Amino acid sequence: MTAVSLRPATPADVQTLAKVAHDSFHQAFSGIMSPASLAQRPPSFFIERFSAQWPDLVAAIAGGRIVGFSMVRQGHIDMLFVDPGAQARGVGKALLAGAEAGGAKTLECFRDNHLARGFYERHGWLHASSLRRSFCGEDYDFVTYAKGT
């Protein structure tokens, strides 16, 4: 893959970012979440959310197109998604490094999202706690991570 660059998202990016979020979300969580829970995150959900929160998004660009994004709010990585067709090519690493440079210190992910957990742990993030909470109308197990020093 071409080199990855990061830039602030713009309102014109919302549709593309929503597609990346939807595709990545459904791929990553299809073995974790129930079909009913997954159905609560159609493309329109992400379009509506990103239409309001685009200033919090950072887009990853490779080969002239958006291939991923992160959303960091108050030092917490709220989202970090990579287009399924661009995974394992340094996009996530670039987004994570950018989030860290911007002050990200915490994140949360599904306990059973072993790929994400391994990725964060390889990049120096440490398991901080475990919790069970409601998400999309059902209870799921999550873990929180903090950036190690």
Question: CA-CA distance, 42 to 136, in Å (whole number)?
Answer: 12
pLDDT given for residue 89 in this prediction: 82
Average pLDDT over residues 3-31: 94
Burial 105-119 (b: 16+ CB within 10 A, else e): eebebbeebeebbeb
- CA distances from residue 115 to 21, 88, 123 in whole angstroms, order as listed: 17, 11, 13
Please determine, for residue 2, whether its predicted confidence score (pLDDT) is greater than 70. no
Phi-psi label, residue 6: left if phi above 0, alpha if psi -120 to 50, beta otherwise:
beta
Tens digits of residue pLDDT in 129-138: 999 999 988 8
Contact between residue 26 and residue 38 where contact means Cβ atoms under 8 Å apart: yes
Tens digits of residue pLDDT in 81-134: 999 987 778 899 999 999 999 999 999 999 999 999 999 999 999 999 999 999
Tens digits of residue pLDDT in 56-86: 999 999 989 999 999 999 999 999 999 998 7
**Domain covering 5-147 assigned CATH 3.40.190.10 in the classification:** no
- CA distances from residue 76 to 33, 34, 132, 138 in whole angstroms, order as listed: 23, 26, 18, 23
pLDDT given for residue 124 in this prediction: 93
Q: What contacts 110, CB < 8 A, 6 or more positions away?
A: 29, 32, 116, 140, 141, 142, 143
Average pLDDT over residues 18-28: 93
3-state secondary structure of 147: strand
Please determine, for residue 149, whether its predicted confidence score (pLDDT) is greater than 60. no
What residues does each domain of the chain span?
5-147
Reported as a pLDDT band with limits 50, 70 and 90, residue 40 is: confident
Question: CA-CA distance, 11 to 31, in Å (whole number)?
Answer: 32
